[in-house]
Chain A
């Protein structure tokens, strides 16, 4: 029951803050709503027994991504122009709603067999074991490392002035 309550609160919160990100006049407010949204998503992970992911969510999204974004906002000094919306509002709205309808329709029409699920917490070791085992994702992990390297080099090259 508590799970249900938590879900609804978190769900409303995440959707609400996501909408707020979009409709906020002030770009800083948008960033803040985004952080709240990330928190809500972290909470949702918890309701899904993925505590480890929730932790990473907080660390990566709030600790890194959000900060980056705020840096971006400040570096570009666009805050004074607010956060206006473009001309494509109506078509975008239609597309978004139709797509949402299609997605929800598809999801609900699918015959989900294991609707109940397990309440057992996922152990971090299991995740680590799968990532770092030879039968798991150790290569992927290495690729992700290369990707970060590429991102770092790219970011440096792009931002550094000659």
Chain B
């Protein structure tokens, strides 16, 4: 069986859900951020796969360009995210997601 679009899409779905699970479960917010990056990577795989397989004769470049922008966004999010984590850490001396619950209800 040759590798086709579905393989990539399924792989992407698996990675997305792993990322999702991690993002929901991991208590360290840095790890949560990592898991979010995994989710974004998963989406990127989908996009690239579509751009490769969608049209028989040519590559749909929009998919790849989308991926480039997603990477930029991911980097920016990571930067601001880490800044916020550091900011929280300074205030609270913890980055444990389950302890960051000053506000609730």
Contacts and interface: CB of A to CB of B under 8 A. Distances in A.
Nearest to A153: B80
A15 B15 contact: yes
B56 A85 contact: no
B25 A92 contact: yes
Interface of A: 3-4, 7, 11, 14-15, 18-19, 21-22, 27, 30-31, 34, 37-38, 41, 44-45, 47-50, 52-53, 56-57, 60-61, 64-65, 68-69, 71-73, 75-78, 81, 83-89, 92-93, 95-97, 99-100, 103-104, 107-108, 112, 114-118, 120, 122, 126-127, 130-131, 136-137, 140, 144, 147-148, 150-152, 154-156, 158-159
A18 B18 contact: yes
A149 B56 CA distance: 39
Contacts of B6: 107-108, 112, 115
A85 B69 CA distance: 31
Contacts of B76: 147-148, 150-151
In order of increasing CB-CB distance, the 7 nearest A-B pairs are A151-B76, A158-B83, A155-B83, A117-B53, A92-B24, A96-B21, A72-B82
A50 B28 contact: no
Interface of B: 1-11, 13-22, 24-28, 30-31, 33-35, 37-38, 41, 44-45, 48-49, 51-59, 61-62, 64-65, 67-69, 71-80, 82-87, 89, 94-98
Contacts of B48: 44-45, 48, 50, 53
B64 A15 contact: no
Contacts of B51: 48, 50, 122
A103 B31 contact: no
Contacts of B1: 4
Contacts of B24: 86, 88, 92, 95-96
Contacts of A112: 4-6, 53
